[in-house]
Amino acid sequence: MDALPFTSGELICLGSSLAFSGLFYYLYRKNAKVVTRIQEAPKLQVDDHLPEVLSASSKGCRRYVAIEGIVLPAGAALTSQYHEELQGVIQKLVLKEHRLVWNSLARSWAESERVLLEQVHTVPFALASPSGEAVTRVSVERPLRAVQLPLETVYERYQQPAHDFKDLLGHYLSGEKPKGFLETEEMLQVGAGVTGIGELVLDPDGALCLQPPADGTGYFLRLGDWQGLLAELESVSRLWKWAVLLCGLAATSVLLHALCRAYRHRRLKQEQEEQRREFEALKGGGDAALDPSEDLPDDACIICLTRPRECVLLGCGHVCCCFRCFQALPSQTCPICRSPIERVVPLYQA
């Protein structure tokens, strides 16, 4: 125990808080790197000068940029399943079942949801100039690889099933109650203002496209401007930073706690050793030798029943134990009368 002053519980706490702070630090660094990249990226609008911006870049014809434009389909657009007049380029249909499940531990019904169906459709699309003056288009490649899809909910319907008495009885017996079905349709509509953050590439044939960066930096498509995205990422960064600090604090407090205990343990040992030396000096001899052939002496220690009684416990004055048993007492109280032991002196028998 002296070599390793930790209990197994403390070791688990220390190990897990160190592991979590490492993980959170990694996430924080990764997020902070993306924030810096976005801050440094040129903020562009789709216009006819884009090819020149790219040609001037040191990395040839590709550059990490934030670009704003409006969505235009390259060919035929998708039509909303529920609103015929709505046209889009990404469509996501989701059907979810909401249920109540009986939790026997908490003795209550808990909400639970399950995705029954999820479909994502997409057609090739490009970003165009909002003013409509420029002819340049930036085609958006692999939009489903973006961190989050820039979708708007265009349809939402919640259906509650009707239950008769037999159903209700079945639900109570099975511990599962269907609550309802939620049907949603989300779309990226034609004409929506979108900010794309990714790698802008100028192909040899003069076509421009926005694609996921080859070095793995974030690829973002969002409705609205890049400042909003930056604010969101910065708040996530702050969250990871706090998580790192909290885990580091937890690890430090476990470490301090264990070190304090080890220090107290050492001090106690030292005090006991000092007390023993003092006792030996007063007695003027070594520890009472044990002779197993001897019968139990009349003045045997009441605790070990082998060595003779040799301690006078003060202030009560009881003479009941040998010095080793005195040192092994769980608390500094007399084993006979429970009064506190202020001092111990050797017994002299003449």
Q: Which residues bind Zn ion (CB under 5 A)?
A: 301, 303-304, 307, 316, 318, 322, 325, 334, 336-337
Show Cβ contacts of residue 171 under 8 Å, excluding neighbours closer than 6 positions: 163, 177, 178
- How far is 63 from 54, CA to CA, in rounded Å? 7
Instruction: Tell me which amino acid residue 95 is.
Output: L
Q: How far is the CB of 268 from Zn ion (least distance, A)?
A: 20
Q: Which residue's CB is nearer to Zn ion, number 236 or number 302?
A: 302
Amino acid at 292: P
End-to-end CA distance of the chain: 43
Residue (108 or 349) nearer to Zn ion, CB: 349
C-beta of residue 148 within 8 angstroms of C-beta of residue 60: no
CB of 308 to Zn ion, least distance (A): 9
In whole angstroms, the minimum distance from the beta carbon of 286 to Zn ion comes to: 15
Strands 137-140 and 343-346 come out as unpaired
The Cα diameter of the chain in Å comes to: 119
Closer Cβ to Zn ion, 80 or 306, answer by number: 306
Minimum CB distance to Zn ion, residue 278 (Å) = 18
CB of 338 to Zn ion, least distance (A): 7
Of residues 123 and 314, the one with the C-beta less far from Zn ion: 314
In eight-state DSSP terms, residue 24 is: H
Distances (CA, A) of 28 to 23, 237, 242: 9, 5, 10
Contact between 142 and 112 under an 8 Å Cβ cutoff? The reply is: no
Nearer to Zn ion, 122 or 306 (CB): 306
Provide the minimum distance between the beta carbon of 293 and Zn ion in the complex, in angstroms, as a whole number: 19
Rounded least distance, CB 279 to Zn ion, Å: 14
By the 8 A CB rule, do 152 and 188 touch?
A: yes
* Integer Cα distance of 269 and 231 in angstroms: 57
Which run of H or of E encompasses 187? Answer: strand 176-189
Q: Closer to Zn ion by CB, 60 or 340: give it.
A: 340
Beta-bridged to residue 345, according to DSSP, are 312
CB-wise, 24 or 326, nearer to Zn ion?
A: 326
